[in-house]
């Protein structure tokens, strides 16, 4: 059964009504002059290539057990987050209010502007660079994009690979950009 959410609305505090909220400590205040202008699409799965577990939630909430999987031993000290995570069944989880800065982009540049975390929303899709994304994910993603575009002055939607070339590859070649209205580089 899919868990696609539609008709989303964003509160003045930056919380999406219809999303499950899991509070991530990996965030801080946006710079005062940084309007939200960009949406960055990522992919993630933890352990790598496995779907459905709590690895991503544990990573974004600093609860990843380094003894649970060999890969976790390498990444458990990371302090990272995204605003949103869309599971394979379309479930939408929010970790950081849109009004705050999530730590998803790292060293990045878009249209001459550096530090994309300052002015972007990060959306993680449960997936990898080598697997197609699901219909429920695209439906939830488009509902979320519509809500974000209705609330913030979004001027671009791009992939992590486009703002951190050579360092990142996601959302990868199996992400279908033609399914995303207003996608820009």
Enumerate residues 6+ apart whose C-beta is below 8 A from 121: 36, 38, 39, 40, 83, 84, 98, 102, 148, 152
Q: Which of 96, 91, 7, 84 is nearest to 40 (CA)?
A: 84
Listed in sequence order, the DSSP H helices in the chain are 55-60, 70-75, 135-151, 160-163
Q: Which of 19, 21, 113 is nearest to 60 (CA)?
A: 21
Q: Which letter does DSSP use for residue 161 in this model?
A: H
Q: Which of 90, 120, 88, 127 is nearest to 104 (CA)?
A: 120
Enumerate residues 6+ apart whose C-beta is below 8 A from 154: 36, 37, 38, 39, 148, 182
Active site residue 124: yes
The active-site residue, picked from 68, 124, 126, 135, is 124
Residues recognised as catalytic: 124
């Amino acid at each position: 059964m899919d868990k696609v959410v539609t008709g989303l609305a964003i509160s003045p505090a930056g919380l999406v009504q219809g999303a499950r909220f899991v509070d991530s400590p990996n965030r801080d205040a946006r710079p005062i002059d940084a309007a939200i202008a960009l949406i960055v699409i990522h992919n993630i799965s933890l352990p790598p290539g496995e779907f459905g577990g709590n690895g991503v939630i544990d990573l974004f909430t600093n609860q990843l057990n380094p003894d649970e999987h060999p890969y976790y031993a390498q990444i458990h000290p990371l302090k990272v987050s995204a605003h949103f995570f869309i599971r394979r069944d379309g479930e939408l989880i929010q970790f950081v209010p849109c009004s705050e800065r999530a730590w998803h982009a790292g060293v990045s540049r878009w249209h001459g502007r550096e530090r994309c975390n300052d002015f972007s929303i990060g959306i993680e899709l449960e997936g990898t660079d080598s697997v197609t994304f699901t219909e429920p994910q695209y439906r939830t993603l488009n509902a979320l994009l519509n809500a974000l575009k209705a609330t913030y002055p979004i001027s671009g939607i791009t992939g992590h690979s486009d703002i951190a070339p050579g360092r990142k590859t996601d959302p990868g070649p199996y992400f279908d950009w033609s399914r995303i209205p207003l996608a820009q580089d």
